[in-house]
Amino acid sequence: MDRASYLSSIRADADLLVAAAGTDLDRPVPTCPGWTCERLLSHVGRVHRWTAGWVARGEGVEVEKAPPGAAVIGWFRAGVDELVDALEAADPDATVDTWAGSQPAIFWPRRMALETVLHRYDAQVAAGTPTPIATPLAVAGIDEMFAVILPWRDTSALAGAGETIHLHATDDDLDRLGGGEWLATLEESGVSVERVHAKGDLAVRGPASDLLLLLWNRDDADHLEVFGDRSLLARWRAAVTV
């Protein structure tokens, strides 16, 4: 996906998030235990503003507290505008500093598109109306999980002796996205990943959206095809609490 696609995704999923969360701001969010829809909007709005400040200034900024009640919706929408404006103004060819080290500039549009869509899904789960994540964004999210999120996090709980997990997305037209298969190897030093077709000790097959939601512990594997050593899936879900 390019920057324009990520920015369009941010706006579209922000609208869907508001549509789901705004119907009952006191409703609990099952995928974010202890949160309400109001807190969900507050969280995403703060992340958007913090990121806009980082993109514009190269450092984190203090973000205002969200207003209570229904006023959070207008505040949230203003944060979306601030974020998209900052991302549009940034040099698309630059290397940027991030909390995950130096990254290409596409890091922030991708990260914010994924932040927004995952929390859009949270809001929709709370409302009882969850919809899938678009295949290109879901594939980008799986790549980001392995290339950015895991190296940044402490993955010692996933250390292993060469056990392998194979993910196989079953969506149509995956060739244009670089394929839809990943082989994660649990090594003593951490998790290594290849984009290859291979047999794993554990294999999980299904739509890329469902695979991403599984990796982010937003959903279980009940509606996915799972083969082999299920204990590896339990280890992942216990270790990667994001």
pLDDT of residue 170: 97
User: Which residues of the chain have a pLDDT value below 50?
Assistant: none
pLDDT of residue 154: 73
3-state secondary structure (DSSP) of residue 228? strand
pLDDT of residue 157: 77
Helix 71-89 / helix 3-21 crossing angle, nearest 10 deg? 180
Place of tokens 């290397």: 95
pLDDT of residue 237: 86
Q: 116 pairs with which residues across the strands? A: none
pLDDT of residue 242: 65
The Cα-based distances of 54 to 41, 88, 198 in angstroms read 20, 14, 40
Strands 202-206 and 181-187: unpaired
Q: pLDDT for 198-232, tens place per residue?
A: 999 999 999 999 999 999 999 999 989 999 999 99
d(CA 112, CA 82): 12
Residue 13: enclosing H or E segment and its boundaries? helix 3-21
Helix (H), strand (E), coil (C) string for 46-58: HHHHHHHHHHHHC
- Beta carbons within 10 angstroms of residue 217's beta carbon: 14
- Identify the DSSP state of 28: B
**DSSP track, 72-133:** HHHHHHHHHHHHHHHHHHS-TT-EEEETTEEEETTHHHHHHHHHHHHHHHHHHHHHT---PP
- E strands within the chain? 95-98, 101-104, 163-169, 181-187, 190-194, 202-206, 225-228
Q: Domains of the chain by range and CATH? A: 3-127 (1.20.120.450), 136-239 (3.30.1050.10)
Q: pLDDT for 169-182, tens place per residue?
A: 999 989 998 999 99
